[in-house]
Structures are given as structure tokens and as C-alpha cells.
Amino acid sequence: MDLIDQAAASDLRPLLHGPSRRILPVLVLPLILVGSCAAGAWLWANLAEFVETPESRDVASTMSLSLEDRASLFEIKWAQQKTGDEIAELNRRIGAQRDVLKGILDQITMLSSRIDALQSSTPVPSAASEPPLSPDRAVSSVARKRFGRSKPRGPVSIGGAPVIAGPKTAEP
């Protein structure tokens, strides 16, 4: 009998605790919904404080200003708007110039690749294909390098203007 009582007691415990776990979500869910609705209603009632626009603050602050201050504030706002428009126009022009420069860069890249292709396709002349210099020409080129070019003597024209020889002075 003890075994039967123990088995019956163990079977009853899960049955007794089972329904209490089901009741908990049923009670908590409506509490959460009611709290959310209350918070939403309070937020809706006080929404004007949270969403006050800067323009409405500006209007309230400008009402307390004098006419001169209002006029200067209007001029400042107008100058800011004009400056903003000028900046937008400059940004548009910069974008257009950037597009033009990109096109030029693309053309330069294309021409560079063509030049590289042409240079790689032309055969490079080797040293053996050049005709050897004759001994007379070799000596004359060596003599030119050694002695340099002959320098002109007398009056020298600068810029191609004709030189008019003046009277010679006696040298001491």
C-alpha cells in the first residue's frame, strides 16, 4: 500500500502544479497590454512637448526682439540661404569638372596603352645592324669632342639683330 500511496502522490504533484503555470502568462499578458496602453495615452497627450519644432521656438524668441534685431536676423537668414544656394551651385560645378577630368584621364590612359602597344610591337634595332663608323668620321668626332666648337671672335649679335661695328679703340 505504501507503494501505491507513493505512486499516487507522485502523480498528483505534476497535476497540481501544471495549471498554475498556465495561469501565470494569462495574468501577466493583460497587465503588460494595459501598461503599454497607459504609456501610449500619456505620450499622446504630451506629444506637443516632445515634438516642438525649431521654427515654433524661433517664432517665440523673435517676438521678444526689437524691429532692428528682427531685420538683422532676417538679413542673416537671407544671407545663409543665398550662401547655401551658392555652395550647391559650386558643388554642381565641381561635379561637372570632376566628370570632365575623369574623361581626360580615361583618354590619357587609352593613349598610354596605345603607345605601350606600339612600342612593344616595333623591333628594337640591335647594335650589330648599325653600320660601323669610318676611321675618318671617328677621328673627326673625337677631335670635335676634344677641342669643342670654334668660338666666334668680334662683335656678337644677340637675338639675331645685326651688329654694327663701331670705331675700333686702341688697345693698351
Mean per-residue pLDDT pooled into runs of 10, the chain (172 residues):
60 55 73 89 80 63 79 93 96 96 96 93 60 55 57 64 64 54
Q: What is the pLDDT of residue 170?
A: 57
* Cell numbers found for residue 139: 677621328
Name residues whose C-beta falls within 8 Å of residue 65's C-beta, 6 or more positions apart in sequence. 73
Q: What is the 3-state secondary structure (H, E, C) of 116-168?
A: HHHHHHCCCCCHHHCCCCCHHHHHHHHHHHHHCCCCCCCCCCCCCCCCCCCCC
Nearest to 133 by CA among 141, 125, 121, 123: 141
* Cell numbers found for residue 2: 505504501
Look-up of cell digits 668626332: 141
Q: What is the pLDDT of residue 104?
A: 96
* Cell numbers found for residue 100: 570632365
